[in-house]
Chain A
Amino acid sequence: MAKNDKINDFVVRFANVNGTGSASANFLFTKAIFRMGIPVTPKNIFPSNIQGLPTWYEVRVSEKGYLGRREGVDLMVAVNPQSMLKDVKDVREGGYFLYDSSKRLHDEFMREDINYIGIPLMQMCNEAYTDARQRQLFKNVVYVGALAALLDIEFNVLEDLLSEQFKGKEKLIPSNVKALKLGIDYIHANYKYPLEFRVERRDLIKDKILMEGNAACGLGAVYAGATVAAWYPITPSTSVVEAFMDYSDEFRVDKITGKRNVAIVQAEDELAAIGMVIGANWNGARSFTATSGPGVSLMNEFLGLAYFAEIPTVLVDVQRTGPSTGMPTRTQQSDIMEAAYASHGDTKHVLLFPSTPQECFDSMLDAFDLSEGLQTPVIVMTDLDLGMNDHVSPPITFDDKREYKRGKVLDAVALEKIEKFGRYLDIDKDGITYRTLPGTHPTKGSFFTRGTSRDEYATYTEDSAAYQRNMDRLIRKWDTAKTMVPAPQVYQKKNESNNGILFFGTSQYAAEEAMDVLKSEKIIVDAIRLKSFPFTKEVVAFINSHDKVFVIEQNRDAQMRSLLMIEMDADPKKLISVLNYDGMPITADNILNQVKINLSTKETVNKVAEKKPVVAKVPTKKAVKKAVVKPARPAGGKVVKKAIKKAAPKKAAKKVLAKKKVAPKKVIKKAVAKKKVAKKIASKKIVKKVAPKKAAKKVIAKKKVVKKVVAKKGNKKKATKKRK
């Protein structure tokens, strides 16, 4: 391996205690690397807790601009005794473990195959500061200083960031700088620095920004002209409305009167929140709410009303790990079915799938235009990863020439010209009818909005023909929607392969990285990134023109695959699921493993697809067991200066497999070796431990399952509906 391979290519994980002020120090670290022009991607791995529980912050630095998560921790900053045992295990072979050496590190935390960097953080801060809170807070800044020395982060960049952070509170700057220096000096005095992996200034960031998707959604709503927001707090969507509030304070307060050009209401629950949104949109204001899965569940009845009564409604669903309360602070793309067909009866909703903060912003503009244009709910589907983590994104832009498309709304003048107003008359034959707002005209245009069946003049009717005409018109409108929603990103001008991969939302990062690797290995696949539902003609063309399409998504039940089958009648045999549903953002390695297994085997497509979960799981426990190596105690809790021979991560990983998803070739081969898998499965105990029930069952009854599963998925819509 060439020496420079390690420049700007590593993962640092911070293990902190929730509520100890680590967040701003950790962000300082990320931002400094960003400022040095190097692509960086941080992930918060936090508990559903305010104070006390472990929380992690993982930063991947990638010269190549890979912004997805990567398994394998090169450097662990372990300042949480509670999680230390796990943290030690998570370091890759040859990696580093930075810890507070104020107290001696216990034997159980010792591994022979990693390097220890002890810094007496507590001791140093106790000596340097008197205030108890300061002692606590500055420990974080001291380790950032240490990292700066170890990783070659430019000091003046950190200094600049601190002075920006404390603008207006300049008094705080010197004590922070002092803490940084303490860390730097300690490394300089005690350790060899910099490490073999480190940063080096680049110009790869250009004009990009570092932003959370939720903030971008909130800002987008301001730019889109939303004036009414109603919400009920739920992680991970809360900060969408909080951002909307903050930007509203800035942009929506009338300079002369001091009055607000916006109304934001914290509702009593999600039912009320969506009810308010519907009421406001019905009355001609642009209005939205933001929630997560549990909120969408509660909003179902109202979403059906908005669909059937044809009222614009904008909803942001920041998805988290379900079902039920699931893992409320972990990410997933598992509300797709729920959102696409929310509510009873024949309903379908327009969905948008942004994957960067910039797209979150644009999605809000599009959502309002589409929702008013189509007079129907539009759901912006983001997830916790996109919403609550900072992402390197192209800058936010707005074309001042872009006007709000308010759709077909008749004003008093237009009503004057009409003989008889018919709210649901399909005059333009596109399924979209004309609406009026309350208060428009003294004698024309009033109508009764209702969730019951009605005729073209909005009069209640139980006439079957009228009901059916209306339902058919709604489908006509759905077809019109296909021409209005954002087209997918197609990665090639012309097909280059019989195989394709399809993904959406935050899977983009890992998928693009996987594509790069495949390309370097001369494996050609075409690619498409969905941006919306209903599926446009480009999606149909892509599916139809490939023999195999890997559908990458972050849920257990292959929900997008089901949607493709239901809505496009796509052949289930050619849609191969690549799934990730452990609550962590999907990684390129994970995608590569699943894709390669499929491409390298001659078995039928479905058989292989069914095997996959077992393959992914089996190495996990085994790896963990292997990774527990005999501990070796460092002298006096200090340095274990170990000669680091080019610790080749791939090789190391083969042996250690620090974590479940790092399942490199060799292991996979092992796992695929049928006999071994079969043996494991034969023992019930192991099955229980190793693979989730479903996967295990599937493998045990291989042949039967293959057929059944195909049939089952064909009925997915029905099944989904029934569940409600």
Chain B
Amino acid sequence: MTYIRPKFRHPELQKNKLGYTVDHYEGALSTLCAGCGHDSISAGIIQAAYEMNIEPHKLAKLSGIGCSSKTPAYFLSNSHGFNSVHGRMPSVATGANLANRDLIYFGVSGDGDTASIGMGQFVHVIRRGLNMTYIVMNNGCYGLTKGQDSATADQGSKNKSGNVNLFESIDLASLAIELGATFVAQSFSGDKAQLVPLIKAAMNHPGFAFINVISPCVTFNNNLGSTKSYDYVREHVEATATVDFVPQMKEISVEYGKGTHKQVVMHDGSVIQLHKLAEEWDPLDRQSAMNAVLNSKAKNEILTGLLYVNPDAHDLHHMINTSDVPLNTLGKDVLCPGSEMLVDINAGLR
């Protein structure tokens, strides 16, 4: 079956700087379960791309396999998409990025796709500092194969069949910080106000930007006893700060009330405005970010918001000194040494 979104749109939808209304950023109609957290994240991505004035065709969306990995079909239909194989989105994104450094790379994965089968590629794409946004839609289970525990399921969490997870969970956010990701955030699919600015800031980040989004699976892991259910998450969520992302072209006009606030100025002059809620936490300090995550975990809290950012991140292209011109635009004239050079090469082999 194919699903095509009905074309009717309200005539007075606001246009962004490029003259696109928000529907220009939508995708095909979702086939996920009604109420699935993943759909809310898709909506957040659409909103963020719209607000960021992104040319959809200048963005490539990539994913692995799973309910979460299906979502790129449901946003940005004017972008090229690549639904690869289970757990291997990072490598495909790496190759794509190396071929053309000028596009925005947006990766979507699930907790099974990332924390189990794809763990190897996940940690290595972080090490390489690939310039991409990597979102894990984390529901603590394998939605698409009907609800088995994933490696991010908390120890003691109960799934729909009543089974209690015996194993320690993998905390993707602290792992990402540990491995040197230069932008790490955590959020909740039900908190669009927080999620949208985080996605915007992530897309603007010049290195590897990771967002772990708790995204309840209404069908298999939304029961009592699950630590990834809507109810549980709402009760246990704690934010580091309220976040606002201010692109460089816009004047900073956001007013904050009382309380501490912090501005993180990004490489291009954009600003992340943080209205701090957590104490003893400095988003520019890796150690402090790590502590904040661990402390809240000890208190059974889910710490959300921006956790860590290094505004001066360098990406893979910088590290391996590739040409500023996208490699996929170079032609034979630049790439092929020509027959003349073979004279010397052959001579050296005689």
Interface residues of A (CB under 8 A from B): 34-35, 205, 207-211, 219, 222-225, 227-228, 230, 250-252, 254, 257-265, 267-269, 271-285, 287, 301-302, 305, 395-400, 403-404, 436-443, 446-452, 455, 459-462
Interface digits, B309-346 against A, CB 8 Å rule (1 contact, 0 not)?
00000001100111110011011101111110110011
Cα A173 to Cα B60 in complex, Å, equals 57
Q: Per a CB cutoff under 8 Å, which of A225, A260, A276 touches B92?
A: A276
Look across to chain B and name the residue whose beta carbon is closest to the beta carbon of A395: B346
Indicate whether B94 reaches chain A with its CB closer than 8 angstroms. Answer: yes
Could you say which of B78-86, B182-190, B256-264 contacts chain A? B78-86
Contact B57 A228 (CB under 8 A): no
Indicate whether B349 reaches chain A with its CB closer than 8 angstroms. Answer: yes
When A260-B322, A272-B124, A442-B56 are in contact, do A460 and B2 touch as well, CB less than 8 Å?
Answer: yes
Contact B330 A438 (CB under 8 A): no
Contact A265 B57 (CB under 8 A): no
Look across to chain A and name the residue whose beta carbon is closest to the beta carbon of B342: A396
Min C-beta distance of A280 to chain B, whole Å: 4
Contact B88 A450 (CB under 8 A): no
Contact B327 A227 (CB under 8 A): yes
Could you say which residues of chain A place their CB within 8 Å of the CB of B73? 448, 460
Could you say which of B6-14, B98-106, B241-249 contacts chain A? B98-106
Contact B120 A268 (CB under 8 A): yes
Cα A261 to Cα B321 in complex, Å, equals 9
When A272-B91, A282-B96, A442-B78 are in contact, do A260 and B337 touch as well, CB less than 8 Å?
Answer: no
A sample of 6 inter-chain contacts (CB < 8 A) reads A230-B94, A275-B91, A279-B98, A287-B95, A395-B342, A438-B60
Indicate whether B350 reaches chain A with its CB closer than 8 angstroms. Answer: yes
Q: Per a CB cutoff under 8 Å, which of A258, A283, A450 touches B100?
A: A283
Contact B92 A275 (CB under 8 A): yes
Known contacts A283-B328, A395-B349; 5 further A-B pairs (Cβ under 8 A):
A272-B88, A275-B94, A275-B95, A276-B95, A279-B62
Look across to chain A and name the residue whose beta carbon is closest to the beta carbon of B70: A460
Look across to chain A and name the residue whose beta carbon is closest to the beta carbon of B65: A451
Look across to chain A and name the residue whose beta carbon is closest to the beta carbon of B72: A448
Contact B96 A279 (CB under 8 A): yes
Could you say which residues of chain A place their CB within 8 Å of the CB of B30? none
Contact A448 B83 (CB under 8 A): yes
Look across to chain B and name the residue whose beta carbon is closest to the beta carbon of A271: B88
Contact B336 A227 (CB under 8 A): no
Could you say which residues of chain A place their CB within 8 Å of the CB of B102? 439
Interface digits, B122-160 against A, CB 8 Å rule (1 contact, 0 not)?
001000100000000000000000000000000000000
Chain B's interface size range is 35 or more
When A210-B350, A272-B124, A449-B83 are in contact, do A227 and B328 touch as well, CB less than 8 Å?
Answer: yes
Look across to chain B and name the residue whose beta carbon is closest to the beta carbon of A208: B350
Contact A279 B93 (CB under 8 A): yes
**Most chain B CB inside 10 Å of its own CB: which residue of A276, A441, A455:** A276
When A268-B124, A446-B78, A460-B73 are in contact, do A278 and B95 touch as well, CB less than 8 Å?
Answer: yes
Q: Per a CB cutoff under 8 Å, which of B88, B90, B99, B342 touches A287?
A: B99
Contact A446 B56 (CB under 8 A): yes
Cα A462 to Cα B82 in complex, Å, equals 18
When A275-B84, A440-B57 are in contact, do A251 and B337 touch as well, CB less than 8 Å?
Answer: yes
When A277-B95, A397-B342 are in contact, do A260 and B335 touch as well, CB less than 8 Å?
Answer: no
Contact A275 B121 (CB under 8 A): yes
Could you say which residues of chain B place their CB within 8 Å of the CB of A446? 56-57, 77-81
Contact B335 A227 (CB under 8 A): yes
Contact B78 A223 (CB under 8 A): no
Cα A537 to Cα B274 in complex, Å, equals 69
Min C-beta distance of A101 to chain B, whole Å: 36
For the complex of A and B, the 6 pairs showing the least CB-CB separation, nearest first, are A279-B95, A275-B91, A285-B99, A276-B95, A280-B95, A438-B80
Interface digits, B50-66 against A, CB 8 Å rule (1 contact, 0 not)?
00000111101010000
Contact A279 B99 (CB under 8 A): yes
Cα A440 to Cα B78 in complex, Å, equals 11
Contact A396 B346 (CB under 8 A): yes
Interface digits, B154-171 against A, CB 8 Å rule (1 contact, 0 not)?
000000000000000000
Contact A260 B320 (CB under 8 A): yes
Contact B336 A284 (CB under 8 A): no
Indicate whether B1 reaches chain A with its CB closer than 8 angstroms. Answer: yes
Min C-beta distance of B186 to chain A, whole Å: 25
Min C-beta distance of B18 to chain A, whole Å: 9
Look across to chain B and name the residue whose beta carbon is closest to the beta carbon of A396: B342
Contact B91 A452 (CB under 8 A): no
Q: Per a CB cutoff under 8 Å, which of B1, B322, B332, B339 touches A225?
A: B332
When A272-B91, A441-B57 are in contact, do A223 and B337 touch as well, CB less than 8 Å?
Answer: yes
Cα A225 to Cα B334 in complex, Å, equals 9
Could you say which residues of chain B place their CB within 8 Å of the CB of A34? 350
Contact B100 A225 (CB under 8 A): no
Cα A178 to Cα B147 in complex, Å, equals 76
Cα A722 to Cα B157 in complex, Å, equals 39
Contact A459 B124 (CB under 8 A): no
Contact B91 A439 (CB under 8 A): no
Cα A340 to Cα B149 in complex, Å, equals 37
Cα A424 to Cα B233 in complex, Å, equals 44
Cα A439 to Cα B316 in complex, Å, equals 21
Could you say which residues of chain B place their CB within 8 Å of the CB of A210? 349-350
Min C-beta distance of B144 to chain A, whole Å: 12
